[in-house]
Chains A and B, each alone.
Chain A
Amino acid sequence: MAAQAAATTFNGNLKKALAGLRRINLEGLRWRVFDAKGQVLGRLASQISTVVQGKDKPTYAPNRDDGDMCIVINAKDVCVTGRKLTDKVYYWHTGYIGHLKERTLKDQMAKDPTEVIRKAVLRMLPRNKLRDDRDRKLRIFADSEHPFGDRPLEPYVMPPRNVREMRPRARRALIRAQKKAEEQEQGGSQRKGRKREAKTEIAA
């Protein structure tokens, strides 16, 4: 009860967090916690989807849903590479003709950062009748607190990732950009010493 009293600091989403817990039978499942801080969006979502499907257990059966409960925290700190923050667009059609709506990743993160991960994971699950039940097993929280503190939680350790080496062209572009930034800083500090100081004062 003390845990619940402490957990009601975010009672806005407490209802949503506990929604439908009664529908999930078979509480022999584990509760795994994924920390999304600093993780790349798609790679994290693919690991979550394997766990939610139950494909990491040797007792996997495709006709019944045996995945673990997944709790994702720090959803607002998830990263994307490239220009996806501004260029990745979520489209949906409302059903009325001509009403194709869109929203960029940046706006979606501002509006509801949990939806980003939820969409990513949902679109990686197989489209069958178990998809909704698996969605119910996913609980995503934007910050690092969740009301499930009294359950036996297990943190999920992400498998080590072998980052691909940059292609020579991209690498040269990166070096060029770095050199340019260094030269700008040095050149600026040499020539406009005072003006620079004034600028940083205003900025700070």
Chain B
Amino acid sequence: MNKKEILKLAKGFRGRAKNCIRIARERVEKALQYSYRDRRNKKRDMRSLWIQRINAGTRQHGVNYGNFMHGLMKENIQLNRKVLSEISMHEPYSFKTLVDISRSAFPGNKNVVLPTRKVNVSSINV
């Protein structure tokens, strides 16, 4: 019944919280509260992770995230950050063309790319 359901939800908890109903009940309630809150937080965290990845990808080409997005908005490219981060991870050449489009739409950022470094496709398939 309720006890059984709670102990089922308490699998993997630490110490007595997975075995004893009184402690498990508290912990399970807290866990359900956290999961409610984190279903909303996950959307924020994922967007922040996409932005970090896009930032890293564009900085390899000498543009930072803010200017890159500004250029894309000017050109009315409506790709969202999720797709942009996937492109920056798996399709480096397409991403470079996007960066060039953004750079031409916006006062050019000086290129800080190291002369010896190429975007190794092998290092991207992680």
Choice from A59, A62, A156, A157 contacting B89 with Cβ under 8 Å = A59
Contact B57 A154 (CB under 8 A): no
Which residues of B sit under 8 angstroms from A66, Cβ to Cβ?
126
Number of interface residues of B (CB under 8 A): 21
Nearest-neighbor residue (CB-CB) of B53 within chain A:
A58
Q: How far is the CB of A34 from chain B (nearest CB, A)?
A: 13
B114 CB contacts on chain A under 8 angstroms? 154, 156-157
- Determine the chain A residues whose CB is within 8 A of the CB of B85 once the complex forms: 58
For the complex, give the distance between the alpha carbons of A155 and B52 in Å: 24
A162 CB to nearest B CB, Å? 11
List the B side residues contacting A126 at CB < 8 Å: none
- A60 lies within 8 A of B117 (CB): no
Residues in chain B near residue A154, CB distance under 8 A: 114, 116-117
Residues of A within 8 A of B59 (CB): 56
A108 to B8, CA, bound (A): 56
Tell me if A160 and B112 are in contact (CB < 8 A).
yes
Within 8 A of A (CB), among B8-61: 49, 52-54, 56-57, 59-60
Min Cβ gap B86→A in Å is: 10
Q: Quick one: which of B56, B110, B116 contacts A58, CB cutoff 8 A? A: B56
CB-contact partner of B112 in A55, A58, A62, A159, under 8 A: A159
Chain B residues whose CB sits within 8 angstroms of the CB of A155 once the complex forms: 116
Whether A59 touches B124, Cβ cut-off 8 Å, given contacts A157-B114, A160-B112, is yes
Flag if A62 contacts B49 (CB, 8 Å): yes
Inter-chain CA distance A43–B16, complex, in Å, is: 48
Q: Which residue of B is nearest A54, CB measured? A: B56
Contacts A154-B117, A159-B112 hold; do A28 and B60 have CB atoms under 8 A apart?
no
Point out the residue from A30, A58, A157, A159 that lies within 8 Å of B60, measured CB to CB: A58
**Whole-angstrom distance between the Cβ of B115 and the nearest chain A Cβ:** 8
- Verify if A88 is at the interface (C-beta below 8 Å from B): no
Q: With an 8 A cutoff between CB atoms, is B88 at the interface?
A: yes
Interface set, chain A 1-33, CB cutoff 8 A to B = 28, 30
What residue of chain A has the Cβ atom nearest to residue B113's Cβ? Answer: A157
Contacts of A56 in B (CB 8 A): 56, 59-60
* Measured CA separation A159–B114 after assembly (Å): 10
Give which listed residue, B56, B95, B110, B123, contacts A60 with CB less than 8 A: B56
B87's closest neighbor in chain A, by CB? A58
Known contacts A154-B117, A155-B116; 4 further A-B pairs (Cβ under 8 A): A28-B126, A58-B95, A66-B126, A159-B112
A-B contact pairs, 25 of them (CB 8 A): A30-B123, A56-B56, A57-B56, A57-B123, A58-B53, A58-B56, A58-B88, A58-B89, A58-B95, A58-B124, A59-B53, A59-B89, A59-B124, A60-B49, A60-B52, A60-B56, A61-B49, A66-B126, A154-B116, A154-B117, A155-B116, A157-B112, A157-B114, A159-B112, A160-B112
